[in-house]
Chain A
Amino acid sequence: MGILTPNGFELDNSGKRVVVDPLTRIEGRLRVEVNVDSENVIRNAVSTGTMWRGIETILRGRDPRDAWAFTERICGVCTGTHALTSVRAVENALDITIPENANSIRNIMHLCLQVHDHLVHFYHLHALDWVDVVSALKADPKATSALAQSVSSWPVSSPGYFKDLQVRLTKFVASGQLGPFKNGYWGHAAYKLPPEANLMAVAHYLEALDFQKEIVKIHTIYGGKNPHPNWLVGGVPCAINIDGTGAVGAINMERLNLVSSIIDRSIEFVDQVYVPDVTAIGSFYKDWLYGGGLSGKSVMSYGDIPENANDYSTKSLKMPRGVILNGNLKEVLPIDHGDPEQIQEFVAHSWYKYPDESRGLHPWDGVTEPNFQLGPNAKGTKTDIKELDEAAKYSWIKAPRWRGNAVEVGPLARYIVGYAQNKAEFKEPTEKLLKTLDLPVTALFSTLGRTAARALECQWAAHQMRYFQDKLVAHIKAGDTATANVSKWRPESWPKAAKGYGFTEAPRGALGHWIKIKHTKIDNYQCVVPTTWNGSPRDPKGNIGAFEASLLDTPMADPQRPLEILRTIHSFDPCLACSTHVMAPDGHEMATVKVR
Chain B
Amino acid sequence: MRPADDRKRVLVLGIGNILWADEGFGVRVVEEFHRRYAVPDNVTIIDGGTQGLYLVNYLEQADCLIVFDAIDYGLDPGELKLVRDEEVPKFTGVKKMSLHQTGFQEVLSAADLLGRCPGQLALIGCQPLDLEDWGGPVTDPVRTQIAPAIELACELLAEWGSPPQLRTTPLSRSERLLANDIDHPSYEMRARPA
Contact = CB atoms under 8 A, between A and B. Distances in A.
B50 A581 contact: yes
B170 interface: no
B99 A73 contact: no
B164 interface: no
B96 A24 contact: yes
Contact of A61 (B20, B58, B190): B190
B93 to A, nearest CB: 6
A184 B91 CA distance: 13
A174 interface: no
A54 B19 CA distance: 11
A578 interface: yes
A28 B51 contact: no
B121 to A, nearest CB: 11
A559 to B, nearest CB: 15
Nearest to B105: A583
A586 B89 contact: yes
B65 to A, nearest CB: 13
A584 B81 CA distance: 12
Nearest to A74: B19
Given A183-B93, A183-B94, A584 B71 contact: yes
A3 interface: no
B72 A124 contact: no
Pick from B94, B99, B134 the residue with the most CB of A within 10 Å: B99
Given A69-B180, A227-B49, A182 B94 contact: yes
B95 A22 contact: yes
B57 interface: yes
A582 B96 contact: no
Nearest to A205: B113
A105 to B, nearest CB: 19
Interface stretch (B3-11, B35-43, B122-130, B145-153): B122-130
Contact of B110 (A58, A79, A180, A581): A180
Nearest to B26: A581
Given A180-B91, A581-B16, A27 B101 contact: no
Nearest to A65: B180
A579 B23 contact: yes
A284 interface: no
Interface string B9-29: 000000111111001000000
A77, A213, A569, A587, most chain B CB atoms within 10 A: A213
B52 interface: yes
Contacts of A575: 98, 100
Contacts of B112: 179
Contacts of A212: 53, 56
Given A73-B49, A583-B71, A62 B57 contact: no
B192 interface: yes
A12 interface: no
Contacts of B19: 52, 58, 70, 73-74, 579
A336 interface: no
B158 interface: no
Contact of B23 (A24, A57, A581): A581
Interface in A29-87: 30, 52-54, 57-58, 61-63, 65-66, 68-70, 73-77, 79
A28 B134 CA distance: 12
B181 interface: yes
B31 interface: no
A585 B23 contact: no
A345 interface: no
Size bracket, chain A contacts? 35 or more
A215 to B, nearest CB: 10
Interface in B43-97: 46-58, 60, 69-73, 87-89, 91-97
A24 B95 CA distance: 11
Contact of A27 (B15, B20, B70): B20
Given A69-B180, A212-B53, A227-B51, A30 B98 contact: yes
A584 B20 contact: no
A20 to B, nearest CB: 8
Given A77-B99, A569-B97, A588-B72, A583 B104 contact: yes
Contacts, number: 206
A576 B101 contact: yes
Nearest to A569: B97
A26 B132 contact: yes
Contacts of B141: none
B50 A578 contact: yes
B47 to A, nearest CB: 7
Given A52-B19, A58-B19, A66-B182, A28 B114 contact: no
B135 A57 contact: yes
A63 B181 contact: yes
Contacts of A579: 17, 19-20, 23, 50, 131
Contacts of A28: 100-101
Interface centre among B53, B105, B114 (most CB of A within 10 A): B53
Contacts of B102: 76-77, 124
Given A22-B96, A180-B109, A213 B101 contact: no
A180 B192 CA distance: 39
B163 interface: no
Interface in A542-596: 566, 569-570, 573-590, 593-594
A592 to B, nearest CB: 9
A76 B51 contact: yes
A393 B130 CA distance: 25
Contact of B98 (A58, A182, A574): A574
A75 to B, nearest CB: 7
Given A181-B92, A228-B47, A583-B103, A576 B69 contact: no
A173 interface: no
B106 interface: yes
Interface of B: 15-20, 23, 46-58, 60, 69-73, 87-89, 91-106, 109-110, 112-114, 123, 125, 128, 130-132, 134-135, 179-182, 190-192
Please give me the 7 A-B residue pairs with the lowest Cβ-Cβ distance, nearest first. A76-B50, A69-B180, A180-B92, A213-B57, A58-B135, A584-B72, A578-B50
20 contacts: A22-B97, A27-B131, A58-B191, A66-B182, A70-B182, A76-B52, A76-B100, A77-B100, A121-B99, A124-B53, A209-B113, A209-B114, A217-B57, A576-B98, A582-B23, A583-B69, A584-B71, A585-B73, A587-B93, A594-B132
Given A180-B106, A589-B72, 9 more contacts: A25-B131, A58-B19, A73-B18, A179-B113, A180-B91, A227-B55, A228-B49, A583-B103, A593-B132
